[in-house]
A and B are shown apart, each in its own frame.
Chain A
Amino acid sequence: MSKICFVNGSPRGKNSGSSYLIERTVAFLNDKKTEAVIIYISDLLKSGEYQSAFESIAMMDRIVFAFPLYQDSPPGIMLDFLGKLEAYLLTDNENRKRDSLPQVYAIVNSGFIESRNNRHALKILAHFCRRAGLNWQYGLGIGAGEFMKKQDNLLYLWMKQPVIKALSALCNELENPSRHPQDNVFVSPGMPAFIYNFAANKEWRNRMECKK
């Protein structure tokens, strides 16, 4: 049975778009072939208990980092976590003796509909893997991440299909991993940018308590 660790790098933890995307991915996994563990960096930040998380991650077959895009890159807490994990992996002797270190994937979601905005963050993850001695496989860059969290109705479900298909393909990959790294995949819900922006702006106006 393959062990897969999902690391949620959103400061909003369980109440985040990343959490939704992880849950959606885990739902596709065959629980007879895989065992999934979810780690929330926001929780580690509060407890300070990084050691057990690192030990667990190092023993996994595959790691999936899921996080929102902050300023075209991983959020500060995610970057901090990667730095600490790198230090752990490079100093832990038992870990260095292992024949095969975990394969790494990523799910990055942007608030803008353009999925390619995630490209710098995915490159940063690949650089991290090279430094930490992990095997980078590929990443999924998703546009309109906030929309993905919305409750499904028929229209929304239809719009979400391109992203759901990409998550399903990621599941196949997690269950039957490729030997070599692949190209990153960029995907957004099926709707024009002007409609997404119009709807998002309307929602922001409704949420604003102080109007400017």
Chain B
Amino acid sequence: MQVLLLTDESDESELGKSLKEGLLDLIGRSKVEARHFGIRSGDIRNCLGCFSCWIKTNGKCIIGDVGKQISDCYTENEFAIVLSPVKFGCYSTVIKHVLDRITPNNLPFLIRYRNRTRHKARYDQYPQLVVVGYGGDTSEAEAQTFAALAKANAVNFQKESAKVYLCRGKDEIINITGQVLKLMGMEEVTV
């Protein structure tokens, strides 16, 4: 099983580091093959909104950085796990740049799906989106916005919904990482 893991390396919070290490440790001890992109703010440019990926390059971003690498391999995975600090009920800037840059994986055409509009899929398969937001001071209202946003993103990325977790403290890490692994149908391999 191939899994894409996206983390924000610009975030230096202890909670973020512990959560990432906990998840990587658990994945390392399972049979999951993870492709991990730890992205720093200087590594990725913002989406230019130029539409080149839709009208000129057949789904390839014209910016040759890590954002393109992630977009190019996005649909090769069964799961896409996004770890992000919660900022104003949204993702961190770095993770938001990544999600904006995955846009080429859809076609520009609009279709009606379950009484709402969405983009037509470019490919046959898309990964299940798993979003883990974290932040010790995230308010309940921000947490609700974050969860609703992640679920809406999953629809844009051609899935029914996202699985969303919110981690407010280190004591929740074992539980959340265990749930993420279970969600992927994997058990921890004890040596």
Chain A interface (Cβ < 8 Å from any Cβ of B): 10-12, 16, 45, 68, 70-77, 79-80, 82-83, 112-114, 117, 120, 123-125, 127-128, 131, 193-194, 196-197, 200-201, 204, 207-210, 212
Of A16, A74, A127, most buried by chain B (CB within 10 Å of CB) is A127
Known: A114-B116, A210-B58. A11 touches B48 (CB 8 A): yes
CB-CB under 8 A from B97, the residues of chain A are 76
Q: Mark B17-54, 1 if CB is under 8 A from A, else 0.
A: 00000000000000000000000000000111111001
Q: Are B48 and A79 in contact (CB under 8 A)?
A: no
Contact partner, A75, options B54, B88, B100, B148, Cβ 8 Å: B100
Q: Are A76 and B145 in contact (CB under 8 A)?
A: no
Q: Are B99 and A71 in contact (CB under 8 A)?
A: yes
Known: A11-B48, A204-B55. A74 touches B90 (CB 8 A): yes
CB contacts between A and B, total, < 8 Å: 117
Stretch at the interface among B70-78, B102-110, B165-173, B176-184: B102-110
CB-CB under 8 A from B161, the residues of chain A are none
Interface of B is mostly: mixed
Interface residues of B in 146-176 (CB under 8 A from A): 148-149, 152-153, 156
Q: Are A11 and B49 in contact (CB under 8 A)?
A: yes
Q: Are B55 and A83 in contact (CB under 8 A)?
A: no
Q: Are A127 and B89 in contact (CB under 8 A)?
A: yes
Known: A123-B89, A204-B109. A76 touches B54 (CB 8 A): no
Q: Are A76 and B96 in contact (CB under 8 A)?
A: yes
Task: Please measure, in the bound complex, the distance between the C-alpha atom of A76 and the C-alpha atom of B57, giving whole angstroms.
Answer: 22
Q: Mark B49-92, 1 if CB is under 8 A from A, else 0.
A: 11100111111000000000000000000000000000111111
Task: Please measure, in the bound complex, the distance between the C-alpha atom of A72 and the C-alpha atom of B57, giving whole angstroms.
Answer: 24
Task: Please measure, in the bound complex, the distance between the C-alpha atom of A120 and the C-alpha atom of B21, giving whole angstroms.
Answer: 30
